[in-house]
Structure 1
């Protein structure tokens, strides 16, 4: 099981990401697209990297917005895996 990060480690890792925030035990980002079709296309581009990493984000889709939440459920909070997945997601357009 992955090791939970402490608050100092979380803040350090967060400083390396743009557009992400920490809410409780989750790392979150919201992306806005032209329309629903583009939002779903973005979600579809998340599938392969998430599968390869074995780390799947929680997603909330509302028309042209996609809210992405990451947490390591097995560990009960944020781990390095969440921040690594956030870096991958940040590169997906």
Structure 2
């Protein structure tokens, strides 16, 4: 397995404490939709941010899941992950503590996109 370096962790960490304290603002529908415009491939569904990623092989999909795990652990913000059909990684984000989407979810989505682009066997 290749060595994977966490990406974007400095950006993600500061807001997490606010989420844990319950003081981070939940985005309203207009704010979430506005942020979604800068996130190609992501969609809003049932109040959650979702995207499916397609990799060249099962091994590449597992490398990508590991990359997501490293970024998520560093941010202490954890998405739901599912691997489908050996090569597809589905990611679902929302801030459970606040029962909605926050800037933390969009920042983590951006870091996940960056991690995906960094893996050779996962075509962007």
The two structures share one fold, judged by TM-score above 0.5: yes
Q: TM-score, normalised on structure 2?
A: 0.72
- Pair 1:3-2:25 in alignment: yes
Q: Distance in 1 between matches of 2:54 and 2:83?
A: 10
Q: Higher helix share goes to which structure?
A: 2
Q: Detail structure 1 runs of 4+ shifted over 4 Å in the superposition.
A: none
The alignment's C-alpha RMSD in Å is 0.9
Alignment: residue pair count: 93
Q: Specify the structure having the higher radius of gyration (Cα).
A: 2
| Matched position secondary structure for 2:81 | strand
Q: Runs of 5+ in structure 2 lacking a partner?
A: 1-21, 117-124
Q: TM-score, normalised on structure 1?
A: 0.95
Aligned to 1:69: 92
Q: Distance in 2 between matches of 1:50 and 1:18?
A: 20
Candidates 34, 59, 62, aligned match of 1:40: 62
After TM superposition, the structure 1 = structure 2 runs for residues 1-93 of structure 1, keeping only pairs within 5 Å, are 1=22, 2-62=24-84, 63-93=86-116
| Matched position secondary structure for 2:74 | helix
Q: Runs of 5+ in structure 1 lacking a partner?
A: none
